[in-house]
Amino acid sequence: MLSNAIVPIIGFVAPSGTGKTQLLKALITRLKSKGFKVAVIKHSHHDFQIDKPGKDSYELRMSGAIQMLIASKYRWALVSENEKPEQEVTLNTLIKQLDQTTLDIILVEGFKFECFPKIEVYRSDMVSSKPAKIPFFLSDSDIVAVATDKPLVSKEGITQLDINDIKQISQFIIQHFSLTMPPINIEKYHVR
């Protein structure tokens, strides 16, 4: 279980190329429009760089700093080297890095083998792909819903959501976690 999570957390899992990131982008926009403060943790199977050779932050990290924090008045980023690259960093460890006091919910892309609530993204063409992709929800009891483009033969307790209906998906998440709508800042609308 994710002992470091103090706000609701839900993951989105599917094979690569299924549309998880597009779904998350729309979902973030929808939740933000409702006043929710959202964080995202995304798993990557690739070695990635967030800075470039020649930039001071990159050069400082390449000089041996195991943590490098860069900041401006607009944003800040912490780059932390995994000292044991043969060991995958856990989701619970990453959650601890977030300032959850400013958040309403954490969305996660990936980390399908960790134990936490997840929505599977499943497209009907996955059945006919070679090899056929078997839905994760058949063997993963942490999957609470499937966002799909066509109804699936399902096991009991799995909610099916229309992958193209972001309103339905966001409403499911709000209800699943009993999230309360943040208060509207009426000062913003005060007429003088």
Burial grade of 89 (CB within 10 A; 0-12, 13-18, 19 or more): middle
Q: How far apart are CA 192 and CA 189, in angstroms?
A: 9
User: Contact at 8 Å (CB) between 152 and 167?
Assistant: no
- Look at the chain and report how many structural domains it folds into: 1
Give the span between the Cα atoms of 186 and 60, in whole angstroms: 46
Tell whether omega for the bond before 131 is within 30 degrees of 0, i.e. cis. yes
Does any domain span residue 69?
no
* Measured distance CA(156)–CA(64) in Å, rounded: 52
Task: Give per-10-residue mean pLDDT for the chain (192 aa).
Answer: 91 90 96 96 71 82 84 87 80 93 95 94 78 83 93 80 96 95 65 58
Q: What are phi and psi of 79, to 5 degrees?
A: -105, 120
Whether 132 is covered by a domain: the verdict is yes
SS3 40: strand
- Left if phi > 0, otherwise alpha if psi is -120 to 50, otherwise beta: which for 104? alpha
Identify the pLDDT of residue 48: 62
Q: What is the pLDDT of residue 5?
A: 92
Q: Is residue 62 part of a domain?
A: no
pTM of the model: 0.85
Residue 122 lies in a domain: yes
| DSSP class per residue in 70-114 | EE-SS-EEEEE--S-TTSPPPHHHHHTTS-GGG-SEEEEE--TTS
Helix (H, G, I), strand (E, B) or coil at 1: coil
- Identify the CATH number of the domain in which residue 113 sits: 3.40.50.300
Q: Which domain holds residue 110?
A: 9-48+88-189
Among 117, 127, 106, 118, smallest CA distance to 36 is for: 106
Is 94 among the domain residues? yes
Whether residue 3 lies inside any domain: the answer is no
